[in-house]
Amino acid sequence: MLDDCEEGARRAAEIVAALRTFARGGGEEAWACADLRERLERTLTLLRHRLGPEVRVVRDYAPTPPIECLAGQLDQVWVNLLANACDAVGGRGTITVRLRVGAPPGAPRVLVAIGDDGAGLEPALQARVFEPFFTTKPEGAGTGLGLSVSYGIVARHGGSIAFASTPGQGSVVTVALPLRRAA
């Protein structure tokens, strides 16, 4: 019983630390270097209550350099994407979080891909996922602002965000962010 209490206290401390970090992200945040792996892990801790015992999270992190960003705003993107993945698997399934360095034409970027093995979306709906107030959730279950807000935050960072989905197989959202803030 004492071990259970100790484990509960440890988890509560992790959640409080993640909430504090997340809360500091608002307001007049300054651009600074941040480790995206650490930020993704904090977000996963914050959303642990949404991950049931039958939801598996696969972490596939390659070494990546810190990036110059507004970390609290990017935390909001990770919360939105991971919460959507949780909803998509519905309490049973796999969520994959990948972190890589990509070298598209131009400059190196850090790539974060968050995928799920949920139901996926039909092509007609895929074209609308970044529209404000568009949602596939039942009325009252979502605002339809998560992906729209995420799109704006990523654009502010000089990055890009893409959505891919296969009906019956799941969805992946990929965020590409520059290593340094554009002048």
Domain boundaries, given as residue ranges, for the chain = 2-178
Helix axis angle, 71-89 to 2-23, nearest 10°? 130
> What integer is the mean pLDDT of 30-34?
96
Determine contact, residues 130/148, Cβ cutoff 8 Å: yes
Residue 22: predicted pLDDT: 47
Q: What is the pLDDT of residue 39?
A: 98
Give me the CATH code for the 2-178 domain, please: 3.30.565.10
How far apart CA 81 and CA 70 sit, in angstroms, is 17
Residue 81 to residue 118: CA distance in whole angstroms? 13
pTM for this one?
0.82
What share of residues in the chain are helix, strand, coil (percent, to 5)?
Answer: 40, 25, 35
Helix (H, G, I), strand (E, B) or coil at 130: coil
